[in-house]
């Protein structure tokens, strides 16, 4: 059996979604420049149009000469362009079971693509190959990786997209608490450039979340790489009475010594990061520096299932848990293949996580704050049989 074709599908659907989108302006690294302060992160371009929203996506397809197919999606336009330009010629003619060989060939060929967009594209290829392998062996991918380690995974509600006005924070936290979530992450709106008023605004979000959640819920807060060391230490001290569980990505990803300094000084509050790091080599630099309490590498960015399995093994040797940066179904399979201490939680983006379900046959829907470990072969990213319209099918030719 050989890989004989690589395709992309451009599909559309309607998202019947009735909650507010784009409510919050969040601080991001580029927000120090006013002309870059507009937030581009919302999953729908025309929020004002109202539900149902017209949405579209690309899916990567890898075919074999015996009719078996692997799928990964949604993937970005840039992913498809890089795969077409860089990886198609490597894939054609390969044994689809030989994923480790294929990963190594892609990595060595794309030596200038060890990080960032090229590695993200390579990750999507790896995921499609694992989906294909699961279907060839009639098994869910977590089973091929040694799982399942549990029947369901505790999820934390990641509140990207919701207003950070305190009254809304209370309202939304209570709403999802009633749905069974026992951990929440809010994205803080202000950074050093916002001065003392910004510190008060951040604290108001933290205070409101704790007021709504009660004493027994884990509360995490994301700074989106927008802070510096003095600012982070001050936020930690001012927020201690509200018992934040972690502060995520407080400084830019390349400031590894600063992460390590924060971890030493945080005293009981965890410092987390790693979503913008790539492969086992990038992650090892964080681990060797004792930079983070929790690693948050992304299965769809850091090298796919193949590389994330190595990252989890590496992190376990340092006794550092991996809680992947969202990742949808691939994260579920990865986490389910690991021990409860190696990967204790899954991030569930309440808004962004629900959008891909429009395209999926198998919907990812947490129940009572947990994600059920799936049993279908592959990675569960097959396209729905109804409600999805094919706009374009393209064979990638390299």
Q: What is the 3-state secondary structure (H, E, C) of 176-197?
A: HHCCCCCEEEEECCCCHHHHHH
List active site positions. Answer: 325
Q: Is the dihedral of CA 16, 20, 23, 24 positive or negative?
A: negative
67 and 181 both lie in a single domain: no
Distance CA 305, CA 390 (A): 27
- Based on the fold, state whether residues 124 and 179 are members of the same structural domain: no
171 and 286 both lie in a single domain? yes
Coil, strand or helix at 284 = helix
**CA separation for the pair 222, 240 (Å, rounded):** 16
Together in a domain, 356 and 208 = yes
Q: What is the CATH number of the domain that holds 356?
A: 3.20.20.120
Return the pLDDT at 40.
61
Judgement on whether residues 172 and 129 belong to the same structural domain of the protein? no
* 111 Cβ contact list (under 8 Å, min separation 6): none
Distance CA(244)–CA(210), nearest Å, equals 9
Which domain covers residue 342, as residue numbers?
143-372
Q: pTM higher than 0.85 for the full model?
A: yes
Q: Which of 260, 198, 263, 210 is nearest to 235 (CA)?
A: 198
Residues 235, 262: contact at Cβ < 8 Å?
no
Picking from 375, 357, 358, the residue whose alpha carbon sits closest to that of residue 366 is: 357
Bond preceding residue 148 cis, omega within 30 of 0: yes
pLDDT tens over the chain, length 398 residues: 999 999 999 999 999 998 888 787 788 999 999 888 776 666 777 777 788 999 999 999 999 999 999 999 999 999 999 999 999 999 999 999 999 999 999 999 999 999 999 999 999 999 999 999 999 999 999 999 999 999 999 999 999 989 999 999 999 999 999 999 999 999 999 999 999 999 999 999 999 999 999 999 999 999 999 999 999 999 999 999 999 999 999 999 999 999 999 999 999 999 999 999 999 999 999 999 999 999 999 999 999 999 999 999 999 999 999 999 999 999 999 999 999 999 999 999 999 999 999 999 999 999 999 999 999 999 999 999 999 999 999 999 98
Residues 6+ apart with CB under 8 A from 217: 177, 182, 183, 184
Residue 150 domain-assigned (yes or no): yes
Answer yes or no: do 307 and 322 share one domain: yes
**Is there a contact between 383 and 359 (Cβ–Cβ < 8 Å)?**
yes
Total domains present in the chain: 2
Helix (H) or strand (E) holding 255: none
> DSSP string spanning 181-238?
--EEEEE----GGGHHHHHHHHHHHHHHHHHHH-TTSEEEEE-TT---HHHHHHHHHH
User: In terms of domains, do 229 and 358 share one?
Assistant: yes
Beta sheet of 3-15, edge-to-edge order: 69-75, 53-64, 3-15, 389-395
User: Residue 271 in contact with residue 241, Cβ under 8 Å?
Assistant: no
Task: Assign residue 62 the CATH number of its domain.
Answer: 3.30.390.10
Does residue 52 have a cis peptide bond before it, meaning omega lies within 30 degrees of 0? yes
Do 188 and 323 share a domain, yes or no? Answer: yes
The DSSP secondary structure of 310-352, one letter per residue, reads: HHHHHHHHTT--B-----HHHHHHHHHHS-TTTS--EEEETTT
Are 199 and 151 contained in the same domain?
Answer: yes
């Amino acid at each position: 059996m050989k890989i004989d074709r690589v395709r992309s599908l451009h599909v559309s659907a309607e998202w019947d979604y009735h909650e507010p989108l784009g409510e919050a302006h969040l601080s991001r690294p580029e927000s120090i420049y006013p002309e870059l302060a507009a937030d581009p992160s919302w999953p729908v371009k025309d929020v004002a149009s109202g539900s149902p929203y017209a949405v579209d996506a690309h899916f990567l397809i890898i075919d074999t000469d015996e009719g078996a197919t692997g799928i990964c999606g949604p993937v970005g336009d840039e992913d498809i362009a890089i795969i077409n330009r860089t990886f198609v010629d490597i894939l054609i003619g390969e044994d689809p079971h030989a994923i480790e060989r294929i990963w190594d060939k892609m990595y060595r060929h794309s030596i200038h693509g060890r990080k960032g967009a090229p590695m993200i594209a390579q990750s999507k290829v790896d995921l499609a190959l694992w989906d294909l392998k699961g279907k060839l062996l009639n098994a869910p991918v977590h089973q091929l990786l040694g799982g399942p380690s549990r029947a369901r995974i505790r999820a934390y509600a990641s509140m990207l997209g919701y207003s950070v006005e305190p009254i809304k924070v209370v309202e939304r936290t209570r709403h999802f608490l009633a749905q069974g979530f026992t951990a929440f992450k809010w994205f803080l709106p202000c950074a050093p450039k916002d001065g003392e008023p910004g510190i008060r605004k951040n604290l108001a979000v933290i205070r409101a979340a704790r007021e709504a959640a009660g004493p027994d819920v884990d509360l995490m807060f994301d700074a989106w790489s927008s802070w510096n060391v003095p600012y982070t230490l001050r936020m930690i001290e001012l927020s201690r009475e509200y018992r934040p569980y972690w502060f995520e990505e407080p400084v830019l990803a390349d400031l590894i010594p600063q992460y390590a300094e924060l971890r030493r000084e945080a005293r009981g509050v965890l410092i987390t990061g790693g979503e913008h790091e790539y492969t086992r080599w990038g992650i090892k630099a964080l681990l060797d520096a004792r930079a983070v309490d929790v690693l948050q590498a992304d299965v769809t960015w850091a090298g796919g299932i193949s590389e994330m399995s190595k990252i989890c093994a590496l992190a376990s040797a340092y006794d550092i848990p991996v809680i992947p940066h969202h990742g949808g179904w691939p994260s579920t399979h990865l986490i389910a293949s690991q021990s409860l201490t190696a990967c204790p939680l899954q991030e569930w983006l309440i808004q962004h996580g629900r959008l891909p379900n429009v395209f999926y046959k198998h919907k990812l829907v947490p129940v009572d704050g947990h994600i059920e470990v799936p049993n279908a072969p592959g990675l569960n990213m097959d396209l729905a049989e109804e409600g999805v319209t094919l706009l374009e099918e393209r064979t990638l030719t390299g």
